Amino acid sequence: MGVENIILDTEAYLHGVFLHEVFACLLVFPYIAYLYVLMRFRTFLQLNHRIFLIMPLTFLLLGIALVSGIFLLAMRGFVYDTKIILMLLVFGILLFGEIYRLKILRKAKISRQAMQRYVRKCLMMYLTFFFLHIALIAWCKIFP
């Protein structure tokens, strides 16, 4: 292995990190869209339609973040540090939150009061996700 292979490996890793950062930063936009829809809906039917339009984008971006993260982790030789563990923890929270939201929606469709509780839970959850994601990005940029 020459010096050129080491440079190419480093260049490939840096490009992978850039790609991972781009898709991780794009993950903020579905949560902003969720918050907008939850604050501006007129009927519960309209709310469900709009949320189900945003949901595939959220799962797509979470999937891309997971795959690119595993790719980068493999390039590092599966060496974990606090930043990677924190990213995995936040990823798990975001994924669990989306699955939980889908489960409570099934129960919430039966009454108006249940849908109002569902909207309040979702607002709290997506505000938490938004600030958690922003804090994670800031922490990863401040402490590289």
Say what the pTM is. 0.85
On the question of pLDDT at 5 being above 70, the answer is: no
Percentage of the chain modeled with pLDDT above 70: 94
The rounded radius of gyration (Å) of the Cα atoms in the chain is 18
Band of pLDDT at residue 99, cut at 50, 70 and 90: very high
Domain that holds residue 98: 3-142
- Measured in degrees and rounded to the nearest 5, phi and psi for residue 77 equal 80, 30
Which pLDDT belongs to residue 13? 86
Helix, strand, coil percentages (3-state) for the chain, rounded to 5, are 90, 0, 10
Which pLDDT belongs to residue 95? 94
Region 38-54: what's the mean pLDDT?
92
Region 105-129: what's the mean pLDDT?
94
Amino acid making up residue 101: R
SS3 state of residue 111: coil
Which pLDDT belongs to residue 11? 85
Average pLDDT, the chain: 90
On the question of pLDDT at 3 being above 80, the answer is: no
Amino acid making up residue 21: E
Number of domains in the chain: 1
SS3 state of residue 27: coil
Residue 16 neighbours by CB distance under 10 Å? 16
SS3 state of residue 31: helix
Which pLDDT belongs to residue 77? 84
